[in-house]
Amino acid sequence: MTFQNELINWYQINKRDLPWRHTKDAYTIWLSEIILQQTRVEQGLPYFNKFLENFPTVNDFANASEAQVLKLWQGLGYYSRGRNMHKTAQFVVNNFNGIFPNLHDELLKLIGIGEYTAAAISSFSSGEARAVVDGNVYRVLSRYLGIDTPINSPAGKKQFFKLANELLHQADPALYNQAIMEFGAMQCKPKSPNCSICPLNQSCFALHHQLVNDLPVKIKKAAQRHRYLNYFICRQGDKILVRERQAGDVWQHLYDFPSLETETEIDLHGEAFITLVKKSFGQEAVFTYLSGKKHILTHQIIHLRFFVLKNYIFNFNKQKELNWVSLGKLDELPQPKAIHDFILEYL
């Protein structure tokens, strides 16, 4: 049995029952593909269901506000995906008469859709013969064929893309694409795959050369940047002061609190931190420590500390991103997960 047929046979026996596999609707498949980017299926499935329930059509998605989209997205991370989805929905309504495209070349015109996503949507919705190349596919091909070209290098991307298309099952590309991705997710897993039950174990290069733990090869990325954000909670009756984060930094258009960023973790009882707080919020400002936590993103680790602030002074004319909201309204605003967790625990 050929490599392709082995994968398809395995898939038909072992595949997970996932809702987007029961449709050829390009909009629904697009939702699943974007939500599952850099997200495990177990984590992404509730978000997929929530988005489809709130926005059953691309027109519904386009007519939503960005705040509604980001609120539903809250906790998934990579918030630019949610913002790009909103722009894409509006683009489809305005340029495709509200009919989500299902062909590769048209899909590439949409915001937030690259080669992999266009191939996946076109393959699964229209049966177009386009190979999908995601992390699972890289891993399966690298191990099975013994390819050690780094998968995150230009040469590696080109090599694997060419190979994936050469191996594409022309009779049923959609089924094959689903099969090889599912095989990588469930059988040829990143760590500790059970090679003894693998249907490809007789011909797998990595298994026979003890390279399963070494393939695929990736070029190591630069070390994550550490940031130190000190948040200040200001209350007036049932209202709390919030800030809408602006473009050019993480959590764009999400809501948090007034903050001071320092280059290092300053001693909160030290003179340097006290001076910084009084310089920023007035000489009469008084602060009390509440809690601290660490939030890990792809390219940075954010160290957060939360304080109650009293006797403060703000210049609202210069800081237009600040606004008083009720605690009830606060729950409706999209927030970074770290802020949302703090609110649930302390407010």
For 139, 157, 331, the CA distances from 163, given in Å and listed in that order, are 13, 10, 49
For 132, 163, 200, 240, 262, the CA distances from 187, given in Å and listed in that order, are 18, 21, 10, 49, 45
Q: How far apart are CA 335 and CA 337, in angstroms?
A: 6
Token pair recorded at residue 335: 């927030």
DSSP states of 281-300 as a string?
H-TT-EEEEEEEEEEE-SSE
Helix (H) / strand (E) containing 227: strand 225-233
Task: Tell me how far apart the terminal alpha carbons of the chain are, to the nearest angstrom.
Answer: 61
User: In the annotation, is 33 catalytic?
Assistant: yes
The SS3 assignment for 316 reads coil
Token pair recorded at residue 292: 């601290």
The SS3 assignment for 235 reads strand
For 133, 171, 289, 321, 346, the CA distances from 308, given in Å and listed in that order, are 49, 64, 7, 20, 11
Phi, psi of 291 (to 5 degrees): -165, 170
The catalytic position among 33, 106, 128, 182 is: 33
Q: Is 86 in contact with 66 (CB distance < 8 Å)?
A: yes
Parallel, antiparallel or unpaired: strands 300-310 and 225-233: parallel
∠252-253-258 over CA atoms, to 5°? 90
Among all residues, which ones are annotated catalytic?
Answer: 33
